[in-house]
Amino acid sequence: MAQATSPPEVVTEPAPARRYNSDAAGLGRLRAGAFAAPALLLIAAFLVFPALWVLYLGLTNYRLTGVAAAEPRFVGLDNLLSAVSEPTFWSSTWLTVQFVLGSAVIGQVGLGFTIAWLLRDRRGPLKRLVEGLVILAWILPGAIVSFLWVALLERDGGTLNTLLSMPELAPLLDHPMLSIIVFNIWRGTAFSMMLYGAALGNVPPSHLESARLAGASGWQQLRDVVFPHIRGHILTNLLLISLWTFNDFTPFLLTAGGPDGRSEVLAVHVYQVALQGGELGYGAAVSTIILLINLVVAVFYLRLLRSKK
């Protein structure tokens, strides 16, 4: 009997290595660069060039008027040294720290999370009404909101004085920092509320239920279950609102930095010395310091965000 023979092995040659394009969309570097060029030009025109121009002005004695306006002179680090030796600069820095801590870190984070937590399981018109009112304060233009608050808190004929029948009540004059802190909390809470509302939706209900069955109190549920799940959202929110508040110019519309500089945060201080005082070089140097502070704050938050615990 003839022995069966197995079919001959088919030797397949390895497929040629696939050549990938240099970009995921397959456009090629030239066409990808052409697509990105308009955005890069806008970034260069409105971000990079102004930043470099401010750095240059900070090294000169440039002024709005006079000989220094026509022929600015290079002064090196004199403006920076002059800024850090000025008591008004440190006073404005301390006021800015109070403004950021009070209105952003404590106020907006605390109130935004509280509203999001209380509304997390709510349904119906009450939830939509509260969210609508909070968001309305956020989307209104700053000039309009500032005018409304001045009309509310004004000493002569203000709405609050009329309602309370206290003609001597003048929050903008007696407590300017507290006034702009409360104003900024009211105006900026919507962002924190929406971010935390989305974050709380990602917390597994089963984890909260397990903690509740184990006898955990409300604070223990927040500390051990909720906060670890939304840690990244908390740090991201803190970074954004801290930088926004640090550079916010809106307090000028309420108090103009007064009275007697008691609400002159750094953004207002730069406006006062650079535009009202005409010292563009000095104002640019202070802006450079603000930029460096922003970078330090951003790096600090990013390091916290990337750490595991």
| Three-state SS sequence of the chain | CCCCCCCCCCCCCCCCCCCCCCCCCCCHHHHHHHHHHHHHHHHHHHHHHHHHHHHHHCCECCCCCCHHHHCCCECCCHHHHHHHCCHHHHHHHHHHHHHHHHHHHHHHHHHHHHHHHHCCCCCCHHHHHHHHHHHHHHHCCHHHHHHHHHHHHCCCCCHHHHHHCCCCCCHHHHCHHHHHHHHHHHHHHHHHHHHHHHHHCCCCHHHHHHHHHCCCCHHHHHHHHHHHHCHHHHHHHHHHHHHHHHCCCCHHHHHCCCCCCCCCCHHHHHHHHHHHCCCHHHHHHHHHHHHHHHHHHHHHHHHHHHCCC
Would you place residue 107 in the very low, low, confident or very high pLDDT band (cuts 50, 70, 90)? very high
Would you place residue 98 in the very low, low, confident or very high pLDDT band (cuts 50, 70, 90)? very high
Would you place residue 1 in the very low, low, confident or very high pLDDT band (cuts 50, 70, 90)? very low
The top-scoring range by mean pLDDT among 10-19, 167-176, 191-200 is 191-200
pLDDT by residue (tens digit) across 141-162? Answer: 888 888 888 888 887 777 888 7
With a cut of 90, say whether residue 204 has pLDDT above it.
Answer: no
pLDDT by residue (tens digit) across 18-31? Answer: 444 455 556 677 88
What local confidence, expressed as pLDDT, does residue 99 receive?
95
What local confidence, expressed as pLDDT, does residue 168 receive?
77
Average pLDDT over residues 128-135: 84
What local confidence, expressed as pLDDT, does residue 69 receive?
78
